[in-house]
């Protein structure tokens, strides 16, 4: 295990370096002069020269990249050109909101997608199977922003049961926090639930036709034991992969529309505001945060593989 983790850490470092190169090159490939975007209304030659010197824009691109990477390694992601605040500190302040949204939305997805997927697989061809498949198709097709607006109209405006927007920290008021997060978690979780449902159903149907399941039944195990200990456990491997990728996607700004609709002030909304204002340092930092979480959660998922399937050895 230790050797595997060392090799995985080395591979992850290479992935992050390549990702940083792509992020930096993508930003530098944008049309126009970055100094003009940073200068605001003052386009005098003196102001542009000062901006280029401040942000290393007067240096060759490789030197700019190495200087930027050196700051990133030290935890300095720069300063927002619009607010003047530290990008790293702003992301850290907003990260708890996005973390909670990711956790709650995946909890919703697991409760709905996994349970319906199991029922649909066990009762293939039944009414429950057709209803679940139709619901999954709808969940994949409905845009998050539209579903969010509809839920706000029904539960916040028409019924007045839940707040329409805003965020309350969990430590300040747990109940009010969950009231504010319920609708966003449902909106984001429905899309994940649809994917998990389809994957769970397909994986379980494949497992049900295998020899080890027939052997387990021949040994006299109850249907519940067969489903839980053999079919579901072996079907969880691709599902765990989805959980890890979905969680990383949300943390890397994948909840932009949901956070924007419900005004949650998380990392996703920060990304949306920065993109709309052409604020480059936060965009680059959020993309790098997303790459880091993808690498980290993929490593955790690989370790979970070995725990779920004894045939897998991490060497």
Lowest-pLDDT range of 110-114, 176-180, 230-234, 290-294 = 230-234
pLDDT value, residue 128: 82
pTM over 0.85: no
Lowest-pLDDT range of 63-72, 293-302, 303-312 = 303-312
Rounded Cα distance, 117 and 204, in Å: 8
pLDDT value, residue 272: 83
Lowest-pLDDT range of 41-55, 118-132, 279-293 = 41-55
Task: Report the percent of the chain where pLDDT is more than 70.
Answer: 89
Let me know the angle formed at the C-alpha of 15 by 271 and 93, rounded to the nearest 5 degrees. Answer: 30
Backbone dihedral angles phi then psi of residue 79, each to the nearest 5 degrees: -120, 140
Please, are residues 139 and 191 in contact by the beta-carbon 8 Å criterion? yes
Helix crossing, 115-122 with 174-208: angle to 10°?
A: 30
Cβ neighbours for 288, distance < 8 A, ≥ 6 positions apart = 16, 19, 20, 23, 72, 77
Task: List, in order of start, the domains of the chain with CATH numbers.
Answer: 2-73 (no CATH), 94-308 (1.10.3720.10)
Report the b/e string of 172-185 with b at 16+ CB within 10 A. eeeeebeebbbbbb
Specify which residues 271 forms β-bridges with: none
Q: What is the distance, to the nearest Å, from the Cα of residue 52 to the centroid of all Cα atoms in its chain?
A: 35
The residue-averaged pLDDT of 114-141 equals 84
Instruction: Label residue 246 left, alpha or beta by phi (over 0 means left) and psi (-120 to 50 means alpha).
Output: alpha
Q: What is the pLDDT confidence band of residue 80, given thresholds at 50, 70 and 90?
A: confident
| Residue whose tokens read 């932009």 | 256
Specify which residues 79 forms β-bridges with: 86
Residue 106: other Cβ atoms inside 10 A: 23
73 by Cβ neighbours in 10 Å (0-12 / 13-18 / 19+) ranks as exposed
Rounded Cα distance, 287 and 64, in Å: 18
Q: What is the pLDDT confidence band of residue 315, given thresholds at 50, 70 and 90?
A: low
């Amino acid at each position: 295990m230790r050797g595997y983790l060392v090799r995985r850490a080395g591979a992850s470092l290479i992935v992050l370096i390549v990702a940083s190169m792509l992020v930096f090159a993508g930003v530098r490939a944008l049309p126009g002069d970055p100094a003009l975007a940073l200068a605001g209304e003052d386009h005098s030659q003196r102001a542009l020269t000062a901006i280029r010197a401040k942000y290393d824009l007067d240096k060759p691109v490789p030197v700019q990249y190495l200087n930027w990477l050196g700051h990133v390694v030290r935890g300095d992601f720069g300063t927002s050109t619009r607010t003047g605040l530290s990008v790293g500190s702003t992301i850290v302040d907003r990260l708890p909101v996005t973390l909670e949204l990711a956790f709650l939305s995946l909890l919703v997805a697991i409760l709905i997608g996994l349970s319906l997927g199991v029922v649909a697989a066990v009762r293939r061809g039944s009414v429950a199977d057709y209803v679940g498949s139709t619901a999954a198709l709808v969940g994949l097709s409905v845009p998050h922003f539209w579903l969010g607006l509809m839920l706000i109209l029904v539960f916040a405006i028409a019924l007045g049961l839940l707040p329409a927007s805003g965020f309350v920290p969990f430590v300040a008021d747990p109940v009010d926090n969950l009231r504010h997060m319920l609708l966003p978690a449902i909106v984001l979780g429905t899309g994940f639930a649809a994917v998990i449902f389809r994957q769970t159903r397909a994986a379980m149907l494949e497992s049900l036709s295998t020899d080890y399941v027939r052997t387990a039944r021949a040994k006299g195990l109850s249907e519940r034991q067969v489903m839980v200990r053999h079919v579901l456990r072996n079907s969880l491997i691709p599902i765990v992969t989805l959980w890890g990728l979905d969680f990383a996607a949300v943390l890397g700004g994948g909840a932009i529309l949901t956070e924007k609709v419900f005004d949650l002030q998380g990392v996703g909304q920060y990304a949306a505001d920065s993109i709309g204002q052409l604020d480059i340092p936060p965009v680059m930092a959020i993309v790098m945060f997303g790459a880091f979480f993808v690498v980290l959660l993929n490593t955790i998922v690989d370790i979970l593989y070995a725990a779920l399937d004894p045939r897998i050895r991490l060497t």
